[in-house]
Amino acid sequence: MFIRIQKDKCSGCETCIDSCPYDAIVMKDGKAEINELCQICSACLSVCPEGAITETEENSDKKEKGQGAGVWVFAEQRDGRLADVSLELLGVGGMLAEKRGAELSAVLFGSTEKEADELIKWGADRVYHCSAEIFSRFNDEAYSRLLSDLIRQYRPEIVLAGATPAGRSFIPRVAARLRTGLTADCTSLDIDSETGNLLQVRPAFGGNIMAAILCPHTRPQMATVRPRVMKRSEYDSGRKGAIIKVTADNITSRTNVIETVKEVSGAALNLQEANIIVAGGRGTDGQKGFDLLFELAGVLNASVAASRAAVDEGWIPYRHQVGQTGKTVGPKLYIACGISGAVQHLVGMQSSDIIVAINKNPDAPIFNVANYCISGDLFEIVPMLTKKLKEVKGL
């Protein structure tokens, strides 16, 4: 498929020039012409008053899959190590690239060639890697300058990044610099089969509603995605791809990180890495209830999380809080005990593979998202669960 302008019909009115998000239409000898920047996005098709622009199947100058087009993933690193969300983005990015018949690229700032190579094994066809010193630590201005420069140079049609503190801080600058749209915190991404546009779904109003967002007229289409929402693709140690070295001359920043202080204990970090989470809400009624949860978590080798109500009561520190104003988690198993299931809590744990809810109230909204609903008293159910698990595991 490609786009063609019928020279004899073109009146030279230039209407199509502004319609192109890629600056791929230029005037030559008084007629419009499509150059190599065309991404076949079809935005120009309907604007020509003469009907001179058409889509054809001929492959005379069919675009090579690869450079120029494609899906980009910003691969975040911390202390040189790839953040999990980077691998999750390659998962969803790969699906989108396949639907568009395009390549999947990753952009890595800081870190080493070894990590760049890891990105290829996780699904990237090419990696743009800049190892300059200024990028070893997160820096808004430097990161946004270089990423927008690269986007201007290579013109991907989709750019994804993690909705992490860093991603949510610097990606909006990139979007503003490029004057393009950005959709925050997407929970699902797909290609609209009719238009080929990126269909971005995200919660709004505290998760009370979902909104589907499009960015039809400007490129790239940009989105941030919450960690732990998308699935990684398969790791293939034999996978091959290209690593493109990027230099960063003249990139400076007016902000400077003097020091990075780690405060979070293992327990809370584990929360986002945990395979199993036992979570408690106001229904735990304080220390006594949480003691039961910690005991169950011990047997399951699980981490303990909490609703905001439990945190506000002071029963457990803030870093255990899951939800809109806490952490987003996506374990294999989430056991919610005495949690009503307010939307603000649900947005933080809904993407768990299996959700078990234990609640006294059979109408609690948590049961709408649970796979297994136990209506009963947690003070009875939880100890029984712990006891039986101990038996099974021979503890």
Partner 1 sequence: MKTIVCIKQVPDTAEVRINPETNTLIRDGVPSIINPYDMHAIEAGLYIKEKTGGSVTVLTMGPPQAETALRYAISMGVDDAVLLTDRAFAGSDTCATAYILSKAIEQLGVDIIICGKQAIDGDTAQVSPEIAEFLDIPHIAYIRKFDDIKNDRIVVQRLMDEGYDLVESSLPVLLTVVRELNDPRMPSLKGKIAAKKAEVKKMSASDIGAGEDDIGLKGSPTQVRNIFAPGTTKDRKILEGAAEEQVDLLLKELTELKCL
Ligand X SMILES: Cc1cc2nc3c(=O)[nH]c(=O)nc-3n(C[C@H](O)[C@H](O)[C@H](O)COP(=O)(O)OP(=O)(O)OC[C@H]3O[C@@H](n4cnc5c(N)ncnc54)[C@H](O)[C@@H]3O)c2cc1C
One residue of 76, 308, 320, 330 binding ligand X per CB under 6 A = 308
224 versus 307: smaller Cβ distance to ligand X? 307
One residue of 247, 265, 275, 361 binding ligand X per CB under 6 A = 361
The number of C-alpha atoms within 13 Å of 203 and in the hemisphere containing its C-beta is 17
Does 356 sit near ligand X (CB under 6 A)?
no
Minimum distance from CB of 97 to partner 1 (Å)? 21
The DSSP annotation for 34-76 comes to E-TT-----TTTTT-TT--EEEE---TTPPPSSTTSSEEEEE-
Q: How far is CA 207 from CA 112, 237, 365, 391, in A?
A: 38, 39, 13, 40
Q: Which amino acid is at 249?
A: D
φ, ψ (nearest 5 deg) of residue 77: -125, 150
Does 324 sit near ligand X (CB under 6 A)?
yes
Minimum distance from CB of 167 to partner 1 (Å)? 10
**What CA–CA distance (Å, rounded) separates 19 from 7?**
18
**Residue 182 near which of partner 1, ligand X, none (CB within 5-8 Å, type-dependent):** partner 1
110 versus 281: smaller Cβ distance to ligand X? 281
Return the closest-CA partner of residue 87 out of 127, 138, 124, 113.
Answer: 124
Number of residues that bind ligand X (CB under 6 A): 29
Residues 144 to 173 in contact with ligand X, rule: CB under 6 A: none
What is the dihedral sign for C-alpha 346, 349, 353, 359?
negative
92 versus 364: smaller Cβ distance to ligand X? 364
**Residue 19 near which of partner 1, ligand X, none (CB within 5-8 Å, type-dependent):** none
Return the closest-CA partner of residue 108 out of 121, 119, 98.
Answer: 119
1 versus 209: smaller Cβ distance to partner 1? 209
Sketch the per residue contact string, 205 through 234, with ligand X: x for CB under 6 A, - otherwise: -x----------------------------
Q: Which residues contact 369 (CB under 8 A, 6 or more apart)?
A: 341, 346, 350, 355, 357
Minimum distance from CB of 127 to ligand X (Å)? 35
Angle between helices 165-178 and 140-154 (to 10 degrees): 50
**Residue 351 near which of partner 1, ligand X, none (CB within 5-8 Å, type-dependent):** none
**Residue 262 near which of partner 1, ligand X, none (CB within 5-8 Å, type-dependent):** partner 1
Contacts to ligand X by CB under 6 A: 206, 281-283, 307-310, 321-326, 338-340, 342, 344-345, 348, 358-361, 364, 377-379
